[in-house]
Structure 1
Amino acid sequence: MPGSATVVDRLERHQVVLYLGAILAGLVAGVVVPGPAELLEAAITPLLAALLYVTFLQIRLSDLLASWRDRRFMAAVLLLNFVLAPLLIAVLALALPADDAIRLGALLVLLCPCVDYVVVFAGLGGGDARRLLAATPLLLIAQMLMTPLYLLVLLGDGRSVIEPEPFLWAFLILIVCPLALAWATQAWADRSEAGRRTAAGAATTMVPLMMAVLFVAVSSQVPLVGSRFAEIAGVIPVFAAFLVIMVAIGFGVTRSFRLAPEPSTAVVFSGATRNSLVVLPLALALPVGAELAAATVITQTLVELLGMVVLVWAFTCVARRR
C-alpha cells in the first residue's frame, strides 16, 4: 500500500497539470478522431456519477451536519451563488450572442455553482476543501430548485425550454444514488476490513476519474464546437468576465461575513466556478434545436479551467507571502 499511496500523492500534487492535459488530449482526440463522439457522450453521465460517488465518499454524515451548522459559511456561499451571481448574470446576459441555444447554454451553466472539481481547486489554493465538500449536496439541491426559476426570468415568457424531468433525473443519478452508495460504503467500512479496503481503493480514483470525465466531455463536444466556433466564440469574453468579477465579489462577501482565511478562499472559489460537468447532461437532454447549448457549456469549462490555474497560482503566491 505504501507504493499506492505514493502514486496517489503524486497524482494529487500534479492534478492541475493532469486536468489540463486531459482537456488538451480531449481537444486533440475530438479533432483527429471525431467519429466516436456520440459513444463518448453517452459515457459522460456514468463517469460523472462515479466521480461524485468518490467525492461524497469523503463526507461523513456527521461532517455534513457540522458544516450545515456553520451558518456564516453556508450563508456566504448561498448569498454569493444564488443572489449575487444571478444579478451579475442578468447584466452579462446583455452581451451574449442572439442565438437562443447559445444563450440558454450560457445561462444554464453560469447559474449553477460547481460541486465537483471546485473542491480540488479550492484545496490547491489553500481553501477549506472539507467544508466546501460537505456543502456540495446543498449547493446542488439549491441549484436544481432555483435554476428553472432564474431561466424563466432571464429568458422571458415562452422561451424557457427547461422541463423538470432532466433536473430530477440528474438529481437522482448524480446526487441521491452516489450519496447513498457512498454512505453505504462508509457503513461497510466501519464494520469490516474488506469494506475499509474498498473505501480506501475508491478514494484513490478521484484524479483519474476527473481526468476521464474531462477527456470524454471535451472530446465528445469538440466536433460541434469546431463546426460552430464562429457563433460560440462570442460567449468566451462573457465567461471570462464572470470569473474575474465573481472573484472580486467573493472577496467582498467573505469580508462582510468576517470569515477566516481558509473558509474565505473556499467561498471565493465556489462563486467563481460553475457546474459545467453536472449541467452538461442537462444541456444534452434539451429538445432538438438546442444542440449548441451543450457546446456552449463545454466552452465555459475550457475558459474556467484555464482561469482556475491562474487563480490557484495567485492564491498560492499570496499564501507564501504571509
Structure 2
Amino acid sequence: MPVVSHAALERHQVWWYLGAVALGAVVGLTWPASSQPLEALVWPTLGLLLYATFTQMNLSAVPRSLRDPRFLIAALVGNFVLMPAVVFGIVALLPSDEALVLGLLLVLLAPCTDWFITFTSLGGGDAERASALTPVALFAQLGLLPLYLLLFTNFDLGAVFEFRAVWPAILVLAAPLAAAVFTEVGSRKHYSLAEIRAGAKWFPVPLLTVVILCVAASHIGALSDNLGLVRWVALAGGLFLISALVMAKLVSLAARLPAHQGRTLAFALGTRNSFIVLPFALSLPPGWEIAAVVIVIQSLIELVGMIVYVRFVPAVLFPAH
C-alpha cells in the first residue's frame, strides 16, 4: 500500500475541501436535523485544528527575521495598510448586505498563518521567512481586526459581537494558541512534546476538511436562501487575489526585495486566515448565518487561486534572474 507523503497531502488539499463542501451539502439537504449536532462538532474540531496549526509556527525564527527587517516591514505594510485599503474598496462595490460584508471583512482582513507557508514553498518562495512572519502576522491581526471592523462597518458591532455569545470563540482561539506556545517551548527539552509537534503537521488538512463539511451541512439552508450572494463572494475573492499580486509587485519593487522574497510576499498578501475568524462568524446571532458560509466559500476560491499563484508567481511575476 503506497504511503501518502505530507507534501502530497497538502498539494491535494483543495480536492479534500471541495469534496467536504459537496458531501456537507448533501448531508445538510438530506438530513436537516443533523445541522445542530454537526454545528456543535465544529467547535472541538476547530480547537484541535487551531492547535495543530499553531504548533507549526516557529517562534524561534522571529528574532532572525528582525535582523533583516526589509521583508518583514514590506509584509506588514502590505498586509495591514495596503490590503485593508483594497478590501475597503472591494466591499464598497458589493450589495449592502450586512452579513455578506461582515463575512468578507472578517476573512479578507486576516492574513494567513497556515497554508501560506505551504504555497510559498510550492511557489519557490522563502519558507524560512514565511515561517518567521506567521506569528508576527497572527498577533498583529488579533490586535488590528477589531479596529478595522470599527472603521469599515456602519452597524452596531456591540450588538453583533456580544461577549456572552463570542466568549466560546475567544476560548477556542486562545486555548490552542497557549497550548501551542507551551508545546514549542517545552519541545526544546522534552522529546515527547517534540514528537507531538512533529506529528501535528499531518492534522490541519483532515481537520479543516471536517470543519468545512460540518459548516457546509449546518449552513446549507442559509446558503440555499442566498444563492445570489455566491457571485458577489466570487467577485470579491477574485478582485482580492488580483490586487494582492499587484500590491506584492509594487511593494517588492519599492523595498527592492529579491525574487524569492517577492514570491513570499505575494503569497503573504494573497492568503487569508479563514479558520481563525470562523469561530467568530459561527458565534454571530440569528440572521447572520451567511457570514460563516461566506468565509468557507472565500477559502475555496482562495485555494483555487493559489493553484494559479503557484505557477504564475515564480514564472511571470517574480522570475529568477
Unmatched tracts of structure 2, length 5 or more: none
Alignment counterpart, residue 303 of structure 2, candidates 279, 287, 305: 305
The answer (yes or no) to whether the contact 2:123–2:311 under 8 Å persists in 1 is yes
In 1, distance between residues paired with 2:254 and 2:162? 35
**Relative to structure 2, which stretch is displaced further, 26-35 or 264-273?**
26-35
In 2, distance between residues paired with 1:150 and 1:253? 21
Question: Percent same amino acid at aligned positions?
Answer: 37
Letter in 2 for 1:296: V
In 1, distance between residues paired with 2:120 and 2:250? 17
How far is the alpha carbon of 1:246 from its aligned partner?
1.6
Q: 1:170 to 1:269 in 2, by over 3 A?
A: farther
In 1, distance between residues paired with 2:168 and 2:67? 29
Please list the CA deviations of residues 135-168 of structure 1 after superposition, one character each: whole Å capped at 9, or x if unmatched.
2232232223222222222223756755484777
Question: How well do the aligned residues superpose, as a CA RMSD in angstroms?
Answer: 3.1
Q: 1:98 to 1:60 in 2, by over 3 A?
A: closer
- SS across alignment from 2:207: helix
Note the 1:117-132 alignment, pairs <5 A: 117-132=115-130
Letter in 2 for 1:44: V
Report what 1:89 is aligned to.
87
Letter in 2 for 1:57: T
How far is the alpha carbon of 1:84 from its aligned partner?
0.9
1:261 and 2:254 matched? no
Number of residues paired by the alignment?
A: 318
**Relative to structure 2, which stretch is displaced further, 160-169 or 101-110?**
160-169
The answer (yes or no) to whether the contact 1:148–1:162 under 8 Å persists in 2 is no
In 2, distance between residues paired with 1:297 and 1:13? 21
The answer (yes or no) to whether the contact 2:166–2:284 under 8 Å persists in 1 is no
Report what 2:281 is aligned to.
283
How far is the alpha carbon of 1:96 from its aligned partner?
0.9
- SS across alignment from 1:228: coil
Report what 2:101 is aligned to.
103
How far is the alpha carbon of 1:217 from its aligned partner?
3.5
- SS across alignment from 1:95: coil
Report what 2:75 is aligned to.
77
Note the 1:227-246 alignment, pairs <5 A: 227-246=225-244
Q: TM-score, normalised by structure 1?
A: 0.83
The answer (yes or no) to whether the contact 1:151–1:160 under 8 Å persists in 2 is no
Alignment counterpart, residue 184 of structure 1, candidates 163, 182, 185: 182
In 1, distance between residues paired with 2:32 and 2:235? 27
- SS across alignment from 1:112: coil
1:173 and 2:172 matched? yes
Alignment counterpart, residue 54 of structure 1, candidates 52, 55, 72: 52
**Relative to structure 2, which stretch is displaced further, 6-15 or 256-265?**
6-15
Q: TM-score, normalised by structure 2?
A: 0.83
Unmatched tracts of structure 1, length 5 or more: none
Q: 1:27 to 1:132 in 2, by over 3 A?
A: farther
In 2, distance between residues paired with 1:158 and 1:193? 49
In 2, distance between residues paired with 1:117 and 1:168? 26
In 2, distance between residues paired with 1:108 and 1:299? 13
